[in-house]
Amino acid sequence: MLENCGSAAQAAISLYGMGTANVPVIGSAVRKRVYPPASYAMTRHFLTALATTAILTLPACSPAGDDLVERMGREHAGDTPAPSPAAGVEPAGEIAGSAVTYARIGDTDIEGYLARPAGDGPFPGVIVIQEWWGLNDNIKRMADRLAGEGYLALAVDMYEGEVATDRDGAMKLMRASMEQTDRLEENLRQAHGYLDAQGAIRVGSVGWCFGGGWSLRAAALLGDDLDAAVIYYGRVMTEESDLAPISAPILGLFGELDGGIPVESVREFEAAMEAMGKSASIHVYPDADHAFANPSGSRYNETAATDAWEKTLAFFEQHLGG
């Protein structure tokens, strides 16, 4: 799928208005033209060359994933993965955390972080999906917080061992990961299987930013096997074919000021879910920007983040039982 190409290409092709009968335009339908009188024939070659040059020098028409990466880059301009206040909150109960190998994709072992509540269980499980920075210590702290609430929390590694330390590095890792979505999907399948093997009585997912979009994708990917999914300002889907496999209830938490995940797309997602009879509870915080609850970065909004976390815990309690 290509985005953000049609309008620019139309502007360029207008240079060709004296020209040909059938003009294919990237990102839009074939445009029909009628040949002008013969007196214009000599100028048509010049206009053809001019329009071609204009189209070739347009901003790159990129797949939707690349466009998302660029939007995230703008949202995180000047940002770093420094711990936010969310990463500094101590777990409510006693927990134990350790590195675990939860998946093997091809010849690669995937190592994540498992935070376990005190006691023998069984516990409900949560797949914790990283921000665009990668599986850093701040995401592990969010797994600890969930474990403190009674959940077996597995923080997965979607970048397979790599972690970004600046915006450019995050853009590079996110773009590379989105070029191999089959590996990301298999990563989440095996994460669910790992929690199931650990005795999790029900399994949900939660993610921030990049991970928020993949929390929603996990609901579609895992279908009836996922019991709840929380999206913190992740990319949403609106096509019926994409949403059809979802059976888990969804909690979506978004910021009104988010330029990367526009509110209009969130409302379209909400309407699509409602039209299909699926459960989606959507909250848009009026004074919050993208990444307002991230455990990494400088965009933390305490009021919105605190309320969103309370909603997350209540949602998991209702659907997973903590």
Residues taking part in catalysis: 209, 258, 290
Return the bridge partners of 109, or none.
104
| Cα 13 to Cα 305: distance, rounded to the nearest angstrom | 47
DSSP string, 37-102: -GGGHHHHHHHHHHHHHHHHTSSP-EEHHHHHHHHHHHHTTT---PBPGGGGPPPSS-EEEEEEEE
CA end-to-end distance (rounded Å), the chain: 40
Q: How far is CA 185 from CA 76, 131, 216, in A?
A: 25, 16, 12
Return the bridge partners of 108, or none.
105
Host H or E run for residue 236: none
